[in-house]
């Protein structure tokens, strides 16, 4: 079959690779209907994370089950499924605590699983899914083609934006600032409104993303950054800063912006993968009682909660996909995201 | 009058100073009935925080109101009052948000207040209290002498331990580890039990403090630190770590102990004054979804909630005072705490 392999920085290829086969009784084989490129895929693409040797890439997909092992109970051949961006059993104590990204038996796409097998990357034609009963969520059919983008966001970005909001404690009437206007930041705007925020400030300098943030429910746009950005957020929030700040980038600058945009006693929910830091300035946090909560989003546990709102159209996170390409053009998909020509690219095998 | 002045590291004196007088309509003058020495007073005592010039010290006291300005409404001459370790108006937006330590008009004992006057340190015979209506909490009389230690803990350590527990989200059934066996750590044990924790692990290497922790409701004692301490906490908590960790020291080692003792998705509530760091390791927090929340404790807002339980004897935080001295012996009070001969020293003018 064909699957995406990163060979080196800016060297993305669709290569012929072995077809996946059931390696254990708890596996499933899923034919990929749609996959996508994640902001975090750009770290190796840009060479910020080194690529020592060629490896499979991609971790967001939806598809149709083609085969299941004899210990799989909850997933059947023919089911339309959403896979979160990681593998989990959904039954261990960490999963039960809502932290399935720390599943005691989990693993990551594109790497070896805990049982010695290889878990395919998601940007390919088929994927072997370990721990299929825990990992996959069945979407009751029929699934219309125009539902695909929205469902695909539940594999990562919509659940990750939601995790930022949940981690920051967004609730009815909260004032919220969102740092980052990528797909996760835009989904965080949706999540904040969905949880009842009365004020949602999207920090964005790009007109098209500002417009989408407004459509998603942002009440204010702040284009300034640094001191001016902090001042603008304070002006909107009665002079003190936001109750909740959702950090959806992961750089030193974005985290600093987030910490300084929170009011005394406020909470920063962060989901941007911190790339080489920054370490958090504990004394400043201490003096103002600003908390920091979040991390790699346990989206598996959010899919059931968010799915009805996606299917009913109450929220439209699928709109973050502003470019759709065939899998054959995966190299162009990376380039379009790298050059910010696209917010997020959907790939169809 | 007499009041405590720190002249340099390990040079604590009871000096003759001017009597305080009402400087504004919102002031009160309080005769100190009892004051105490705080763990944070030991930073300048030990020279870790430099003392550039002699200054007044102490920030915890209870006493009786001797005079009030003509704009004071809630406090009357003769009232027995508790003062938190800072000055606040209890009405600004930050106070209303429960973060009175960030009061827009507040200040600190022993320094200049926001109106240009001097706020006495608390280890003296009398104190001028700015913003008396906001700062002081009246204890309905009569107040028995044996109530004094418990009431005095509401000025700082009991409210601070409570803040650690609240910040970490302790609730019914939580597993909790407390790092630090000083007065705040011991009060954090009380607070965790009071909020319903089912497991409370006190990390302590001192037999007398272990015993007090058990009396306060600790279900387990862990004497190990570092990797062994983390392992011991995990063994007690089903292999994963504690839901909530209360960091009550403020050193790099204690924060590291706390972060590593939390389960994935757990929360560290911290109230130990971070002395020169550490910066928090964001990537490790991200990978495990461990949050960090807390800071300088807004104890003013907790006094009304905790007072009934202190007066009824439901909780006995006053037991952290294991040495009582006359104010004249304040230098010995500092030495006893510095040398760990006492957990916390109560001073009577």
- Measured over the CA atoms of residue A21, residue A24, residue A30 and residue A36, the dihedral's sign is negative
**DSSP H/E element including B267:** strand B262-270
Residue A348 has pLDDT above 90, yes or no: yes
A271 prior amide bond cis, ω within 30: no
Residues of chain A above pLDDT 70, percent: 97
Looking at the structure, tell me whether residues B19 and B36 fall in a common domain.
yes
Q: What is the pLDDT of residue B273?
A: 78
Contact A291 B296 (CB under 8 A): no
For residue range A230-251, list pLDDT tens digits in order: 999 999 999 999 999 999 998 8
Q: What is the pLDDT of residue B280?
A: 85
Looking at the structure, tell me whether residues A138 and A9 fall in a common domain.
yes
Contact A296 B289 (CB under 8 A): yes
Q: Which of B93, B102, B281 sits opposite A289 (nearest CB)?
A: B102
The stretch A326-339 carries a mean pLDDT of 97
Looking at the structure, tell me whether residues A34 and A151 fall in a common domain.
yes
Considering only CA atoms, give the Rg of chain B. 20
Looking at the structure, tell me whether residues B324 and B288 fall in a common domain.
no
Residue A116 has pLDDT above 60, yes or no: no
Last residue of a domain, one of A265, A294, A323: A294
Looking at the structure, tell me whether residues B265 and B306 fall in a common domain.
no
Q: What is the pLDDT of residue A112?
A: 67
Q: What is the pLDDT of residue A277?
A: 61
Q: What is the pLDDT of residue A113?
A: 59
* Phi, then psi, of B323 in degrees rounded to 5: -150, 135
* Phi, then psi, of B200 in degrees rounded to 5: -130, 115
Looking at the structure, tell me whether residues B194 and B306 fall in a common domain.
no
Apex CA B287: angle with CA B281 and CA B290, to 5°? 70
B278 prior amide bond cis, ω within 30: yes
**Is residue B267 a contact partner of residue B213, using CB atoms and an 8 Å limit?**
no
Residue A200 has pLDDT above 70, yes or no: yes
Computed over every residue of chain A, the mean pLDDT equals: 95
Residue A102's domain comprises 2-156+299-348
Contact A295 B285 (CB under 8 A): yes
| A contact residues 261-290, partner B, Cβ 8 Å cutoff | 263-265, 267, 270, 273-274, 277-283, 285-290
Looking at the structure, tell me whether residues B22 and B140 fall in a common domain.
yes
Residue A115 has pLDDT above 60, yes or no: no
Quote the crossing angle between the two packed helices A183-194 and A207-215, to the nearest 10°: 20
Contact A294 B287 (CB under 8 A): no
Contact B99 A264 (CB under 8 A): yes
Can you tell me the distance from the alpha carbon of A112 to that of B65, in angstroms, rounded to the nearest whole number?
70
Residues of chain A above pLDDT 90, percent: 89
**Which residues on A lie below 8 Å from B239 (Cβ)?**
93
Q: What is the pLDDT of residue A259?
A: 96
Q: What is the pLDDT of residue A276?
A: 62
Least confidently predicted of A46-55, A114-123, B34-43, B284-293? A114-123
Looking at the structure, tell me whether residues A149 and A232 fall in a common domain.
no
Looking at the structure, tell me whether residues B21 and B138 fall in a common domain.
yes
- Residue B95 CB partners (closer than 8 Å, separation 6+): B88, B89, B103, B134, B300, B301
Q: What is the pLDDT of residue B283?
A: 87
Mutate to test the interface with A, among B293, B297, B298 (most CBs of A within 10 A): B293
For residue range A157-174, list pLDDT tens digits in order: 999 999 999 999 999 999
Low-confidence ranges of chain B (pLDDT < 50): none
Looking at the structure, tell me whether residues A324 and A241 fall in a common domain.
no
- Structurally, chain A folds into a number of domains equal to 2
Q: What is the pLDDT of residue B288?
A: 97
Q: What is the pLDDT of residue B117?
A: 66
- Asked if B293 is an interface residue toward chain A (Cβ–Cβ < 8 A), one would say yes
Looking at the structure, tell me whether residues A169 and A281 fall in a common domain.
yes
């Amino acid at each position: 079959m064909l699957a995406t392999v990163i060979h080196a920085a800016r060297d993305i290829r669709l290569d012929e690779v072995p077809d996946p086969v059931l390696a254990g009784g708890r596996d499933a084989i899923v034919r990929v209907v749609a996959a996508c490129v994640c902001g975090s895929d750009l770290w190796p693409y840009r060479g910020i994370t080194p690529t020592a040797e060629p490896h499979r890439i991609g971790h967001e997909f939806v598809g149709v089950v083609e085969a299941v092992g004899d210990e799989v109970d909850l997933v059947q051949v023919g089911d339309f499924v959403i896979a979160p961006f990681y593998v989990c059993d959904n039954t261990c104590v960490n999963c039960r605590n809502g932290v399935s990204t720390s599943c005691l038996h989990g693993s990551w796409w594109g790497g070896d699983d805990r049982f010695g097998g290889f878990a395919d990357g998601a940007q390919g034609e088929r994927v072997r899914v370990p721990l299929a009963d825990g990992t996959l969520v069945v979407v009751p059919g029929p699934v219309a083609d125009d539902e695909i983008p929205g469902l695909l966001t539940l594999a990562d970005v919509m659940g990750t934006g939601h995790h930022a909001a949940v981690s920051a404690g967004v609730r009815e009437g909260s004032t919220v600032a969102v740092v980052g206007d990528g797909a996760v930041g835009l989904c965080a705007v949706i999540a904040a409104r969905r949880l009842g925020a009365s004020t949602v400030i999207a920090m964005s300098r790009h007109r098209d993303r500002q417009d989408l943030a407004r459509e998603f429910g942002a009440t204010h746009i702040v284009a300034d950054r640094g001191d001016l950005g902090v001042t603008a957020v304070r002006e909107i929030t009665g002079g003190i800063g936001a109750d909740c700040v959702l950090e959806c980038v992961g750089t030193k600058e974005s985290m600093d912006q987030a910490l300084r945009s929170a009011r005394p006693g406020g909470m920063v929910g962060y989901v941007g993968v911190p790339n080489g830091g920054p370490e958090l300035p504990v004394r400043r946090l201490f003096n103002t009682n600003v908390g920091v909560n979040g991390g790699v989003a346990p989206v598996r546990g959010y899919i059931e909660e968010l799915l009805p709102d996606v299917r009913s159209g109450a929220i439209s996170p699928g709109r973050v996909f502003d470019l759709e390409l065939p899998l054959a053009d995966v190299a162009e998909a990376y380039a379009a995201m790298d050059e910010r020509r696209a917010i997020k690219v959907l790939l169809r095998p």
